[in-house]
Structure 1
Amino acid sequence: MPDELSELIDSPVERLHVEYKSWLDLAQPKTRADLARHIAAISNFGGGKIVFGIADDGQSCGPAPAGFELTHDTVVSITKRYLDPAVHCDVRWIQSKLGVDHPIVIVPSHGATPICAKANGPELKGKIEGIVAGAYYLRKPGPESAPIVTAADWRDIIRRCALHDRSTILAALSAALSTENADTSSANPRHLLEQWAASANADYLRRAGEGEYAAPIRDCRIQLSYVVETESPEEQPSSQFLNILREVAGEVDQHVASGWSLFYVFGAEPFAPRWDMDSSAPAEEFMQSSLIDATRTIGFDLWRISQTGLATAIREFWEDTPDFGFSPRVALNPRMMTRMLRELVWHAAIFAGRFAGPVRVHFRCEWRGLKGRRLVVPNAIPFRTRPAEVDTVVTETTWAAGALRTDIAEVVYRLGGKLARALDWDGLSAAGIAAEMPRWKQL
């Protein structure tokens, strides 16, 4: 399965949200204090990653030395000692193309309050090393993890704190918002979303051309789209838009681990997102990333997101690729389907929170190339279901923006129910999706 974390190892580029470290002795107090400072700074920056075993020049440092150990418990003990509130990070070991295993610490964004150092690092020759109690740290150009010293440093942190609280308020008020009374005029958000999806699909087919791919991407693909409806027209600022998309994607990763996220913001060419234009799209200018490349074996994605709240992602059925061991057009893994939908809903919920007056989010999901597919979960009891008889399924639903976080299981059920029925599956339910949700944080 492809994994965006692999890009951090195989194409290392140190950025503000990514810190690279060689193999360090985590038993040393100064090293632990340094790691706590980086975690605090990255969390206050909006989240990011710390990659071990990569030198400053981007070269691998080779296999981890004997005795090196970095686990979730290691990071928990460090953040509990030095940070308030403690940051709950994840740790994943990823193998590089060179066959070397590297640990990556996945640092979430701060919540309603920024992260503060609560204890000093060790004192050497009368100087406190690593981290200083009472200090707030932030990622700064260099990149480095340095104390906050100016009002400008606080601006984005305060905004994220406010957005965190506002999401809670929106959820409490969501009962007052209608999810059923969508406008039926030609300019309504659902109509715009259909146009948006169609223009992206046409661009996908154009880019695919007549090339030979490891999966039948021209006939079999999935397109998941949404639009944020606001009280009045709004746009995210152009100068901050890429960083906003990176922060949103990073927060989604805290809730669902999909391996290769729908709207992952690549840092390396040729997949790094860039501004693009399409005269046939409702939002003519948008940020777009395309992974359509005949040399790949999996991950033929295209996504585009506009400043006005339109988003769509197109990808092949992973089940059709050589990585999964099935023949094309024969399988659909329902666990992958529900996980992908949950990722879509989380992305919509978090991105909607970036707008001052989000009211509703309209979703549109389309599966093409279904006919003949059966439900398959590897290493599980086979489904006693018939293959799909229809080739295309389109589902739509509208939901109060403030209720998305609390109603994710129900929204996923609404979006996936029609597809489940097309595959002769009556086992999909909101309760079942809710029960499965805790496992979605693991690959």
Structure 2
Amino acid sequence: MVNNNIADRLADVLGEPREGLDVEVKNWLDLRSDEDAKAIFAKAALALANHGGGIIIFGMSEAAEGMIPAPGRPATLDGYGVDLLNGIIHNYADPAFHCAVHLRPGPDGQVYPMVVIPGGHRVPVRSKRGGPNGKIVRDNSIYLRRPGPRSETPQTSQDWDALLGRCLAHRRDEMFDQIRALITGAVPAASLPTPPDQLVEWIERSKARWRRLRDTLPAGAPERCPHGFMWYAFELGGSRRRLPGSQFSETLRSAEVNLSGWPPFWYPTRSGIKPYPFEGLVECWIGGDTEEGYSNHGAGFADFWRVSPEGMGFFLRGYREDDLAGGRGIPPEPGTWTEIEWPVATTAEVIFYIESLAARMVEGPASVRLSCAYTGMDGRHLRSLTGRYLHPRVARQDVIELDATFSAEAVAPNIAEIVQPLLAPFYTAFDFFDLPMSLVTEVIGKLRQRSY
């Protein structure tokens, strides 16, 4: 449903179409197969996003008497679907954003696609790739609307001042929202439309699938994770977009969030480890690398993950600690220790990925149910490689299970407030260790700076 303000704005713009700083008019473009056309649309969308939002109208051309219907009207408007247009934006824009598409009748009675580009971005939106042959859109460039109107890169200090001023204003508003949330203790949570048993069944099927793959490895392979492993599983709630085969695979690739160098849900392209379709979902088994000339490096790199078009995800990995056994200041036996910061870093990176994926898979607000577990914990000591936490603490239970529900929109402003209570029971299992919020915020800060 379109709210009245937007509906009135669309009617006004189409009733007397003309280009302005917040309105871009385009001819009919083949957005399915013409790469130049895709770049033309992407450039206009990037510029309007940095301007503070706007509207793109397809099917008009400029004449002496003003805007008139463009020739070459397609037989159907299927080539202007919301999934197709957002797929183009996600391929070009960093950070990605979601546009809305409305079909509205013009003065001539014909229907025209109108794309609403959102504003309100905290940082300038840049192009993360170039157009065909480096034309139309340049790689790693920022576009904005300039008088003409034209979509161009910033030309003057005034252009930069206006752009950064808008971003800082939006960042300030978000900061005040965070302060209010902290004062009230509000981390928005949303109920899922599906019963929890669906996630439980998904977890059991995913673990069984991993065990079948693991059993194909040699008996002594460290990638079998003999000393334990962690797993994370999630379910997205909300109005999910329909993403067919290749588009779903591309969505997962574009959703990747790499803050650590070896991120959860990494989407590799090398033939021995690249994701593949399996029973209607996308699956990746890095632990079973089959390409000649490559080898894995232990349990901490033996990732297994899978994501379904229904918004279910699963990720499993062994422990880097077990690969480092016997190093300087490190116990000689694997399965005997846990680094105090690493569960925070992994959990935060998983949640950042869920946020990124939800923005691509769910139309509007998205709820998240997250479950995770750490196995092989019995007898492990909590240690700090930096030496900041000097008192050894030990866990006496083998499996530590955790869960949380939250809104995907809450991740950016409240990531620490999601991670800390989720992991607190894990750390409590180590002789009642209280997980400090300062440790959580410090680790997340290093992740965001890509210095972890």
1:193 partnered with 2:199: yes
Structure 2 unaligned runs (5+)?
1-38, 44-49, 52-91, 99-125, 144-166, 290-294
Map of 2:189 onto structure 1: 179
Map of 2:283 onto structure 1: 288
Map of 2:134 onto structure 1: 145
After TM superposition, where is structure 1 displaced by more than 6 Å over at least 4 residues in a row?
Answer: 174-178
1:221 partnered with 2:241: no
> How far apart are 1:235 and its partner, in Å?
3.2
Aligned-partner SS, 2:284: strand
Q: Distance in 2 between matches of 1:178 and 1:147?
A: 41
Go from structure 1 to structure 2 and tell me whether the alpha carbon gap of 1:422 and 1:216 turns closer, same or farther (over 3 Å shift): farther
Map of 2:347 onto structure 1: 341
> How far apart are 1:290 and its partner, in Å?
0.4
Aligned-partner SS, 2:94: coil
Q: Distance in 2 between matches of 1:346 and 1:315?
A: 17
Go from structure 1 to structure 2 and tell me whether the alpha carbon gap of 1:400 and 1:383 turns closer, same or farther (over 3 Å shift): same
> How far apart are 1:193 and its partner, in Å?
1.6
Q: Distance in 2 between matches of 1:304 and 1:264?
A: 11
Go from structure 1 to structure 2 and tell me whether the alpha carbon gap of 1:177 and 1:136 turns closer, same or farther (over 3 Å shift): closer
Structure 1 unaligned runs (5+)?
1-40, 46-83, 86-106, 114-134, 155-163, 278-284
> How far apart are 1:391 and its partner, in Å?
0.1
1:395 partnered with 2:380: no
Q: Which residue identity does 2:425 align to in structure 1?
A: K
Q: Distance in 2 between matches of 1:317 and 1:136?
A: 36
> How far apart are 1:429 and its partner, in Å?
3.2
Map of 2:265 onto structure 1: 263
Aligned-partner SS, 2:203: helix
Map of 2:297 onto structure 1: 297
CA contact (8 A) 2:366 2:408 kept: yes
Go from structure 1 to structure 2 and tell me whether the alpha carbon gap of 1:334 and 1:136 turns closer, same or farther (over 3 Å shift): closer
Go from structure 1 to structure 2 and tell me whether the alpha carbon gap of 1:195 and 1:219 turns closer, same or farther (over 3 Å shift): farther
> How far apart are 1:308 and its partner, in Å?
2.0
Q: Distance in 1 between matches of 2:229 and 2:207?
A: 10
Map of 2:6 onto structure 1: none
Go from structure 1 to structure 2 and tell me whether the alpha carbon gap of 1:324 and 1:145 turns closer, same or farther (over 3 Å shift): farther
Correspondence 1:99-178 to 2 at 5 A: 109-110=94-95, 138-140=129-131, 144-148=133-137
CA contact (8 A) 2:192 2:367 kept: no
Map of 1:309 onto structure 2: 311
Map of 1:132 onto structure 2: none
Q: CA RMSD in A?
A: 3.7
1:311-368 Cα shifts (integer Å, max 9, x gaps): 1110101111147734211111121110000001111111111210333100001111
Map of 2:334 onto structure 1: 328
Q: Distance in 2 between matches of 1:136 and 1:391?
A: 47
Aligned-partner SS, 2:314: strand
The normalised TM-score by structure 2 is 0.56
Go from structure 1 to structure 2 and tell me whether the alpha carbon gap of 1:425 and 1:339 turns closer, same or farther (over 3 Å shift): farther
